[in-house]
Amino acid sequence: MREILNYKEAVQIIKSAILHSQYDAAKSVNEKQLMLYYGIGKYISINSRNGFWGQGAIDAISEQLDRELPGLRGFSARNLRNMRTFYEEWSALDKMDTAQIGDNLADASAKSFEDTAIEIWQTRLPNLKNFPYEEFLHISFSHHIFILSKIKDYEERLFYIRKSVVECFSLSNLKNSIAADDYHHQGSLPNNFPKTLLAGQQAIKAISTFKDEYLLDYINVEELDVRDVADIDEKVIENAIVHNVKNFILTFGKDFAFIRNQYHLEAFGEDQYIDLLFFNRELNCLVAVELKKGKFKTSYLGQLQGYLSVLDSYERKPHENPAIGIILCKDMNKSFVDFVIQDYTKPMGVATYKTSKDMSEKLRKALPNIEDLKKLLDENDE
């Protein structure tokens, strides 16, 4: 029996080593590709912007590359222009003066593009001391180009770069996050966390974990089995969320695990049911979510506080932090909610949600196709 256990332990150790090696190899390949694209982008930028090349040069170069290297992917005229954009938008990372090295770069034999880019990454510029170099080199070129095409603000770009790495975003996840405008919804949830969570760091984590608005774009009320949209209630939304629980967890963010819906609580002979119950690994606590179809009401806070009291007294494990409650409603006056929630003793926050019916046509087009997203999720499960 001991021998079998040793084999299992050996398998896990070897498996861990293989996965770690594969991760490092993939990471290295991605970094080198970004370095190469950055160097090529710089070369193209200097020659095309300064008039060294004539009109149509990029298209001609792409066609010639295709003839000389059949089957080569990633060097279409469009992608070569993307490389130029990649360099120009992040040219602040370049420690070298382009005016001084322009003549050298014009001579393709002077230095490999990758070597040029490596020189850039090996230097940490003083004015960019907080720049997330590791994260920057971790995400794919496609991620970078999408961020550059949609986001103009420097800090907002860095936000989505970090978020893509921390939450292991696919390109579809990134598109969804940008469409939901996560940057402007971070940390703005009306809450009483600083007052009710004794550990200051726990409060900071909780504030950064939740947003003030969630985009539940996979819930299409027009497709639900309801005769009148006005008849849609919390139960209908809840069932749609449970049916799409993977999507909901992706919407909520990293480290959430779904426990169940209509979670039964019993205390002092009273039966109560929480709409949705999660566990968050980072916060190390239960998270109770209550769904409300209309505008926020103060009575919702009293109901949720009762649920949290029972959770903490009867469900919470000794090593866990106090449970957190979130109310998801269709509308709220944030200033009013932020004022009244301070009188409650359990950690709670209030957020709003939008379904596909609430989105503009422009926003719907910006989101990834739901079938593609489902396919991606299924692939990740295999």
Decide if pLDDT at 9 tops 80. Answer: no
> pTM here?
0.58
Please give the average per-residue pLDDT across 156-162, as a whole number.
Answer: 91
Whole-number mean pLDDT of the chain? 77
pLDDT, position 278: 92
Of the CATH numbers 3.30.70.20, 3.40.1350.10, 3.20.20.70, 2.120.10.80, which one belongs to the domain with range 185-367+376-381?
3.40.1350.10
pLDDT, position 140: 92
At 151, which helix (H) or strand (E)? none
Decide if pLDDT at 119 tops 70. Answer: no
At 289, which helix (H) or strand (E)? strand 285-291
pLDDT, position 103: 41
pLDDT, position 202: 87
Can you give the three-state secondary structure of 295-359, one letter per residue? ECCHHHHHHHHHHHHHHHHHHCCCCCCCCEEEEEECECCHHHHHHHHHHCCCCEEEEEEEEHHHC
Report d(CA 301, CA 290) in Å as an integer. 10
Give the relative orientation of helices 370-381 and 245-252 as an angle to the nearest 10 degrees.
90
DSSP 225: S
- pLDDT tens digit sequence for 163-185: 898 888 889 889 988 987 888 87
pLDDT, position 351: 92
Decide if pLDDT at 274 tops 50. Answer: yes
Q: In the structure, what pLDDT confidence band is assigned to residue 283 with cuts at 50, 70 and 90?
A: very high
pLDDT, position 69: 79
Decide if pLDDT at 222 tops 50. Answer: no
SS3 278: strand
Q: In the structure, what pLDDT confidence band is assigned to residue 128 with cuts at 50, 70 and 90?
A: low
Domain assignments of the chain as residue spans, ordered by start? 2-126, 185-367+376-381
Q: In the structure, what pLDDT confidence band is assigned to residue 36 with cuts at 50, 70 and 90?
A: confident
pLDDT, position 157: 93
Decide if pLDDT at 51 tops 60. Answer: yes
Cα–chain center distance at 243 = 21
Of the two residues 361 and 339, the one the predictor is more confident about is: 339
Q: How far is CA 301 from CA 111, 149, 335, 354, in A?
A: 65, 41, 15, 21
Of the two residues 338 and 102, the one the predictor is more confident about is: 338
pLDDT, position 123: 58
